[in-house]
Structure formats: C-alpha cells, structure tokens
Amino acid sequence: MPHRTRLAGHSGGNTMSSFKRLADAGDLTGKTALVRVDFNVPMENGLVTDDTRLRAAIDTVQTLRTQGAKVALLAHFGRPKGERVADMSLAPIAGAFAKVLGSNVSFIADCKGEHVKQAIADLDPAGVILLENTRFYAGEEKGDPELAKEIAALGDIYVNDAFSAAHRKHVSTAVLATLLPAYAGVNMEAELDALDKALGTPERPVLAVVGGAKVSSKIDLLKNLVTQVDSLAIGGGMANTFLAAQGISVGKSLCEHDLAETAREIMQVAKENNCNILLPVDVVVAKDFKAHAENRTCATDEVADDEMILDAGVRTIAQLVAAMGNSKTLVWNGPLGAFELTPFDKATVAAAQAAGIRASDGKLIAVAGGGDTVAALNHAEAADEFTFVSTAGGAFLEWMEGKPLPGVEALKA
C-alpha cells in the first residue's frame, strides 16, 4: 500500500477534529453543565502550590456561565482507590478556584444523590459548585454505568475539559458522555485541534523527534510514528539502543541491549513506510554521569569502553535543525540528552530554540508534550514559541502511540 494512502486513512487513530464543541451547545439558560476538569494540582499542607490547572479551567467555566448555565465541576485528586481519604478531598480546592475565578464556588462532599441535586438547584443562576473527588467512588475508575446514571441525573449536558485524563475510560472522563449531550471544553478543544494539526491531518513533511531515556517505555510510540511521519529523529538515551543494534559500541552508555531486535524491527517498519530515520552522527561523551563532568565530542563509532553518551554533538544538532527546515510540522517528545546536567542540555536547548524560532516565524507547526518534554522546553525557554505544548503526560503519549482515547472518542460528533 502506498505511504500516502495509508496516512490519509489515519490508521494510527489520530484523527480528532470531528468532536462536539461548546459553541455547538447554544443557549444553556437554566441548564446545568457537568464539567470534568483537571484539578489534580500540587498541594502542600492543604494549600495549592501551583494553580496553573485551576486557571486553565476559567475559560470553559466562564463560557458556560455566559451561555446561561450553572456549572457543577467534577474532578479527581490523587489515588484514593474508591475510598474516602480525608487529605484527598477537593474541599480546599473550591476556595483556591474561587480566588482565581473571582467569584463564589460552592463545595459539596459528594458526587451523587438528592442532596447534591438540591445544592445545585440552590445555586444562583450561573452559579458554580465543585463536587467531591470522583475517585472516592469505586465505580469511577471501573466506568460503572450505575454510578454514571446517578451523576448524569445531576445535569443537562456534559463537558470534558480534561484531556490529561482522556486516556481513562472512567465515569467522569468518558461514560457520562454516553448519557448526556457531550462537548469538549475550551482547553480540550484547543488540545484536540493542535494534535490534529500535528498527526491527524498535518501539513507535510512531518518530522517527529523522540528522545528520552529508554526505548522500552516508547516502543508503541515509535512503532506508530514510523507509519505516520516522514522523518523520525531519535535522540537521548534511547538512541544508544538503536546505535548498538547496528553494531556500534556505545561504551557504558545507558542502553537496552535486549531491545536490539525491537530497534531493528522499528527501523525496518520505517523503511517500509518511507520514514527516514535520523540517528546521532556525533555525540558528547563523559566518564561520569554528573553535571560538569569532563567531556568530549566524538563520532558515534568512537565511544570508548569507559565513556557514556550524555548528549548529541554539534553535527547531529545541525542535522536536526536542517530536518526542521525541510519540515512543515514537528511533533516532539523527550529530551535529546541528560538535559538536567549542565552542559549535557546543549542539544535539547539548541533544537528546541531552533524549533521555537521557526514556529514563531510561522514556518513550522511545532507540537510537543509528554513527561519531561515540558520541563526540557521550559529549560530552553522555547515552550511559549511552540504552536502547542501539551501538559497531559500519559494521555499525550497514548495519543502519540495512535491509541484511541476513550474520553475523546466519546466526544466525537
């Protein structure tokens, strides 16, 4: 099958553009919207230490209020595993959210029942209430239809604004969408549109950059990408496994020798799909895994037995920047070296800045996300210049693996 035909068929399950948006919901006067948000915020001694996720919810909540709806917020916090755990209550978060929203936010220590229904009925028009941690109910993570029915009875429409939990088939992330008219919230909408531009219906050529520590955690992701993108640059510790699989000695570098066959298989699938694989051509090596360790740059086949690869070299960076110059779309996950240890952050920083400049010049759609990637792009001070940086972690990686996300599938029009 020709490459382009397969891509047009989106075999990787990345088509995301046809979902229901809040704008489709129309006038909501007198209605109650059940809104799934991500309030899994960092907390210390009952205080929110980073309110980014709370601020992210404002747009959706205000849009719904403007459309006339009351808003009942659903969220999880931590892993209470179906039990009521006092220090995982969302009670303190209601106050913190009220502060960033600039209006009153009620709280009720339940997610279902007549008393919750009454509390919603008692709200002023366009009032906002936060319900208790959804994971206090054992049925939540099991996607229990009975629990779903009881929660659905509280509202008229369902809005999902938590892409970060969209890889879960839980009551509050997916099942509610089967019981009520369901829409993507403002953040979910932005995320899905960005992801669609990156892998769903991208402008080609598409370059993927995948770095990070290990191949083992990204086998599915690599296997999917080589069927979707035009070029795949492999960096970071995982590149060592690919180099070793080609008979190159990587000294005492981080390397999964047992995955040599898997690496060769991925290279073979790439070849069958006309996906050009870019591996490092030069590397920065040191004898110790520590910041400011004495280091040198050498060709990839010149690593001594007592040396380890900690970063990509200047020729590899140039190769990558040239590949960006030949691409219209970039999708990136994972750092290109041990970026937490100066000076082994150079390749990650240089590549991120080059991508950021092209993106802000409108020459490249640059989408990144997953795990350490956000920290790496922030470290490079390039995140703001990217077209979109996803903070979703697990959901972003499953999307890169081409897996359908239950929370997104449930919103499809």
> Catalytic residue at 371?
yes
Active site residue 12: no
Give the dihedral of Cα atoms 45, 50, 51, 52; nearest 10 deg.
Answer: -160
Task: Say which of 12, 20, 36, 53 is annotated catalytic.
Answer: 53
Q: Are 112 and 146 in contact (CB under 8 A)?
A: no
Quick one: tokens of 253?
């570098």
* Residue span 316-355 as binding mask against ligand AMP, x where in contact by CB under 6 A, dash where not: ------------------xx-xxxx---------------
- Considering only residues 270 to 289 of the shown chain, the ones binding ligand AMP according to CB under 6 A are none
Q: Which amino acid is at 268?
A: Q
d(CA 218, CA 266): 11
SS3 at position 298: strand
Query: Any contact of residue 202 with ligand AMP (CB under 6 A)?
Result: no
- Sequence-ordered strand ranges (E) for 243-379: 276-278, 282-286, 295-299, 308-312, 329-333, 365-369
Q: What is the dihedral of CA 46, 50, 56, 57, to 10 degrees?
A: 0
Shortest Cβ distance from residue 209 to ligand AMP (Å)? 11
Tell me the closest approach of the beta carbon of residue 32 to ligand AMP, in angstroms. 40
Residue 321: alpha-carbon gap to chain centroid: 24
Smallest distance from the beta carbon of 131 to ligand AMP, in angstroms?
A: 33
Closest CB to ligand AMP among residues 12, 371: 371
- Does 212 help bind ligand AMP (rule: CB under 6 A)? yes
**Number of shown-chain residues binding ligand AMP (CB under 6 A):** 18
Indicate whether 237 belongs to the interface with ligand AMP (CB under 6 A): yes
Active site residue 214: yes
DSSP states of 18-75? -B-BGGGG---TT-EEEEE------EETTEES--HHHHHTHHHHHHHHHTT-EEEEE-
Say whether 328 is catalytic.
no
Distances (CA, A) of 232 to 116, 199, 226, 345: 51, 13, 7, 20
DSSP state of 177: G
328, 394, 403, 412: the active-site residue: 394
Tokens representing residue 25 in the block = 């919901």
Considering only residues 310, 320, 364, 410, which one is a binding residue for ligand AMP as defined by CB under 6 A? 310
Please tell me whether residue 359 binds ligand AMP under the rule CB under 6 A. Answer: no
Site for ligand AMP in 250-269 (CB under 6 A): 254
Does 236 participate in binding ligand AMP (rule CB under 6 A)?
yes
Draw the binding track, 54-83, toward ligand AMP (x: CB under 6 A; -: no contact).
------------------------------
Q: State which residue, 287 or 328, has the beta carbon closest to ligand AMP.
A: 287
Interface residues with ligand AMP (CB under 6 A)?
211-214, 217, 236-237, 254, 309-310, 334-335, 337-340, 371-372
- Catalytic residue ranges: 53, 214, 371, 394
